[in-house]
Amino acid sequence: MPIDLREDVAYIILKKINESGQGMHEVHFSDTDFGSPKVTQTDLLGHLDYMNQKGYIKAEFSGNAYGNQEDVPDAVNPQEVDLRIANTYGSPDGPLPHKIAFEEAELTDKGRKLLEKMEENPPAALREGASIPIATKDMPFLEKVLLKSGLEDIFDARDVTEVVFRVMRDLMTTEAADRVAEELHKPAEVTEDKALQNEIADLWKDTNPIVGFLSRVRPPWQGPGIFKIDSDRFLFRVKNESGMARTGYDVDREQVVKAVFSATKDELSQERIQEISSWMPEGKVKQLWDEA
């Protein structure tokens, strides 16, 4: 399940693991490590689990991470029940499962690189004392999308980004789309992998040359008719054209779209941001763009 990831919490986790030892080692977090608002144990474990899954850290946990009944002690054996520590996940048919506990961790190379970039531009929340959406200004574009979206890998982030851009262009005139492209001439991902060596502008124009050509010769899909793109159709197209529906991703399509929007806005001038907002369909998608 997607979590509400906080950039300041992710930064503190990486920094604490890095400074507390080398290799797999115990890492102890306390309330004083984090600012305001308060980070609950559930929030901390959620961040640790997410960063572990995404390869930024290598972590070990104890207990039953799924909170199911397979880990529930035998209720007819009071001694066994007494030896178990219950967590906060309610169990309707018996005692509670083991408590989830973070044991030890180490930074991966990917996590170390992310920490270096974040140290160059520390999260604003550390200065302002408030939770903010992940910004990570100096992080490569696709890394931002990956970190915020809940997708599985960088190639998924690239493919979904291209589809989100495609639907956005379909809402706009060719002239408006060209003005956006002019501001996106930065690498989408800093990598030696040739399959990912695109500029953000390449993704905006569409790496499929036929699709890119058709997007330039058709009128904006606004106004009445079956091709009108409202918020529902926008989200439907992203899910189906990107392959999310076929692969069975357990991710929220609105979260994915907002992740792409947020990374894109980091690259654009306020003028372009406002112009794109004017093209967005009323309702959920326009809200996601304005909030990203």
Spatial CB neighbours of 127, under 8 Å, sequence gap ≥ 6: none
Backbone φ, ψ for residue 58 (5° rounding) = -115, 115
pLDDT at residue 95 greater than cutoff 90: no
Judged by DSSP in three states, 158 sits in: helix
How does pLDDT run across 153-190, given as a tens digit for each residue? 888 899 999 999 999 999 999 999 999 999 998 888 87
**Residue type for 69, please?**
Q
What gap in Å lies between CA 243 and CA 253, rounded to an integer?
11
Question: In this structure, are residues 197 and 187 in contact, taking their beta carbons and an 8 Å threshold?
Answer: yes
State pTM to two decimals. 0.56
Judged by DSSP in three states, 97 sits in: coil
CATH class of 7-63+100-128: mainly alpha
Buried b (16+ CB within 10 A) or exposed e, 61-85: bebbeebeeebbbeeeeeeebeebe
pLDDT of residue 63: 61
182-207 average pLDDT score: 86
pLDDT of residue 61: 82
Q: What residues does each domain of the chain span?
A: 7-63+100-128, 141-291
Judged by DSSP in three states, 105 sits in: strand
The CATH topology of domain 141-291 is Globin-like (1.10.490)
